[in-house]
Amino acid sequence: MENIRYDLITAMPELFIVCMAMFILLADLFLKASNRIYIYGLSQATLLAAAYLTFSNHAPSVSYAFTDAFVDDAMSDVLKLMIYLGTSLIFVYSRQYLQLRNMFRGEFYALVLFSVVGMMIMVSGQNMLTLYMGLELLSLSLYALVALDRDNTRATEAAMKYFVLGALASGMLLYGMSMIYGMTGSLNIADINHALMGETKNHAVLILGLVFIVSGLAFKLGAVPFQMWVPDVYEGSPTAVTLLISSVPKLAAFAFVIRLLVQALPTLAVDWQQMLMIMAVLSIVVGNITAIAQTNLKRMLAYSTISHIGFILYGLMSASINGFVYAMFYVVSYVLMTLAGFGIILLLSRKGFEAENLEDLKGLNQRSPWVAFLMMIVMFSMAGVPPTLGFYAKFSVLQAALQAGYLWLVVFAVLMAVVGAFYYLRVIKLMYFDEPADLKPIDAPLDMRIILSVNALALLVIGLMPQSLMELCIYAVTRSLS
């Protein structure tokens, strides 16, 4: 009895959000359309309360629950808080967009909250099945969200593609897990690690399993050569959903990689390092070069995401505590940048008008110098130009890779970063050097403007003082992995 109570307390935030999501779904039935704003308020309150629960439950030590299938450590708590924050920003940025497109419904909020629970379970999973369940909860919610705008054929197509490829990836992941299970006799992360130490197992089967696991992960991360769904889904989804897909799930994916590769299979590090290395290099090349040819802003940011994933893999493939810390720092920076970037796209959209082509940014400096300035910060940050946050993100992962001895790969990444700078500069060129094509004033709620400004300025401010964020990442990773 005592055990169950302890288990429930450890998983309190997850349970709380699940209950609230179901409540929201029910409450939505009884609310008039004009009162839907309460659903929005309730969702935000849910995240806030969950943040309180996570924060007050936090202890620097590691504690396990549900017969060691669920873990509560520093990394999971920090990442969960980030997920709440990111999701809350998503709610703020997407509200008006959804209202104007008849998507401001309870389903959206319930599905997003379910996906949040999925991410939290991915972050806290300590058993391959738990991790898999979290991933599926997240993925299924996202498939439905992409297709939320039922009459939109492009979105439906994107959802279909996302679902088919996502299901394939899940299958590969499960297949890989089953092989690891066959070789070690356990699904528990710590037990797998323990079983693989010491005695030599049948290496070939383990590697085969590892290949499938890494492929599955790469699918979910969107790393080359498993990236083909990324641009289509980004482009086809309603921008509010793209905002979600492109941002917070990467935090969960990071934890997923750490749990599966670093905690369960450190004995195979030499093998997965090589796989990550190839994917990292390919992602940076394909992401940066293909992005140049894009005219659609959302597609361009999709390829930019692929190249960012490449840089994150640079940190992970270093297979050192430092590398993991810097990869986490990169993921957090990436999420902040992406939220601000897509937030600005949402800000520029109006009723019946999607700001999704690069051309739509033309002359933004004359329409609204402030928004143009914010977008400029985001772009320079993505390009990794100091004094923005993106610079320290790139700087630190490259440092980890150099420390691990990958000198020429680092030089290569740096050359590719110059290629990448080109298409970010093109956005700035459109905003600052071109004459505006349409002069309609930007219409957005005040809270969105303020929070978006804070979000984008944070890239500059944290760029000037990155120490606290870095310390947070060091705290999270070293407490959980040492």
Partner 1 sequence: MLSYFSQHLLSFSVWTPILSGIAVLFTANDHKPNGTRWLALAGGILAFLVAIPLYTQFNFADGGFQFQEGFSWIPAFNINYHLGVDGIAIPLILLTSFTTVIVIISAWEVIEKRVAQYMACFLIMSGLMVGVFCALDAILYYVFWEAMLIPLFLAIGIWGGPNRVYATIKFFLYTLLGSLLMLVAFIYLYLKTGSFELMDYYRLPLPLTAQVLIFLAFFVAFAVKVPMWPVHTWLPDAHVEAPTGGSVVLAAIALKLGGYSFLRFAMPIAPDAAHYLSGFMITLSLIAIVYIALVALAQKDMKKLIAYSSISHMGFVTLGFFIFNNLGLEGAVVQMVSHGFISAAMFLCVGVLYDRVHSRQIEAYGGVANTMPVFAAFAVFFAMANSGLPATSGFVGEFMVILGAIQANFWYAFLASTTLIFGAAYTLWMIKRVFYGEIANANVAALKDLNKREFLILATLALLVLALGVYPQPLTDMTNASVTQLLSLLAQSKLPVGL
Dihedral sign computed on CA atoms, order 231, 235, 237, 241: positive
Pick from 411, 437, 454, 461 the residue near partner 1 by CB under 8 A.
Answer: 411
Q: How far is the CB of 323 from partner 1 (least distance, A)?
A: 13
Q: Which is nearer to partner 1, 277 or 404 (CB)?
A: 404
Q: Give the Cα-Cα-Cα angle 242, 246, 250 (nearest 5 degrees).
A: 150
The two tokens of residue 142 are 């996202």
Q: Decide: is 59 part of the binding site for partner 1 (CB under 8 A).
A: no
Q: Decide: is 303 part of the binding site for partner 1 (CB under 8 A).
A: no
Name 350's bridge partners.
353
Q: Decide: is 422 part of the binding site for partner 1 (CB under 8 A).
A: yes
Q: Decide: is 399 part of the binding site for partner 1 (CB under 8 A).
A: yes
Q: According to DSSP H, which parts of 71-198 are helical?
A: 74-100, 106-124, 128-146, 153-184, 189-196
Q: Which is nearer to partner 1, 9 or 460 (CB)?
A: 460
Q: How far is the CB of 387 from partner 1 (least distance, A)?
A: 5
Q: Decide: is 386 part of the binding site for partner 1 (CB under 8 A).
A: yes
Pick from 178, 320, 403, 478 the residue near partner 1 by CB under 8 A.
Answer: 403
Task: Name the segment binding partner 1 (CB under 8 A); options: 147-155, 251-259, 330-338, 413-421.
Answer: 413-421
Give the whole-angstrom CA distance, residue 186 versus residue 177: 10
Q: Decide: is 407 part of the binding site for partner 1 (CB under 8 A).
A: yes
Instruction: Give the C-alpha distances (Å, rounded to integers) separating 142 from 148, 166, 376.
Output: 10, 10, 30
Q: Decide: is 369 part of the binding site for partner 1 (CB under 8 A).
A: yes
Dihedral sign computed on CA atoms, order 9, 10, 12, 15: negative
Packing angle of the helix pair 321-348, 389-403 (nearest 10 deg): 150
Total number of residues binding partner 1 (CB under 8 A)?
Answer: 35
Q: Decide: is 410 part of the binding site for partner 1 (CB under 8 A).
A: yes
Q: Exposed, middle or buried: residue 89 (CB in 10 Å: 0-12, 13-18, 19+)?
A: buried
Task: Name the segment binding partner 1 (CB under 8 A); options: 131-139, 202-210, 226-234, 387-395.
Answer: 387-395
Q: How far is the CB of 429 from partner 1 (least distance, A)?
A: 6
Q: How far is the CB of 205 from partner 1 (least distance, A)?
A: 38
Give the whole-angstrom CA distance, residue 478 versus residue 482: 6
Pick from 470, 476, 477, 480 the residue near partner 1 by CB under 8 A.
Answer: 470
Q: How far is the CB of 463 from partner 1 (least distance, A)?
A: 9
Q: Decide: is 425 part of the binding site for partner 1 (CB under 8 A).
A: yes
Q: Exposed, middle or buried: residue 102 (CB in 10 Å: 0-12, 13-18, 19+)?
A: exposed
Cβ-based neighbour number of residue 214 at 10 Å:
25
Q: Exposed, middle or buried: residue 197 (CB in 10 Å: 0-12, 13-18, 19+)?
A: exposed
Binding characters for partner 1, 439-468, by CB under 8 A (x = yes): --------------------------xxx-
Classify 280 as helix, strand or coil.
helix
Q: Decide: is 395 part of the binding site for partner 1 (CB under 8 A).
A: yes
Pick from 429, 436, 475, 478 the residue near partner 1 by CB under 8 A.
Answer: 429
Q: Decide: is 475 part of the binding site for partner 1 (CB under 8 A).
A: no
Binding characters for partner 1, 318-357, by CB under 8 A (x = yes): ----------------------------------------
List CB contacts of 442: < 8 A, sequence separation 6 or more: 347, 348, 367, 368, 371
Summarize as ranges the residues that interact with partner 1 (CB under 8 A): 365, 369, 380, 385-387, 391-392, 395-396, 398-399, 402-403, 407, 410-411, 414-415, 417-418, 421-422, 425-426, 428-429, 432-433, 465-467, 470-471, 474
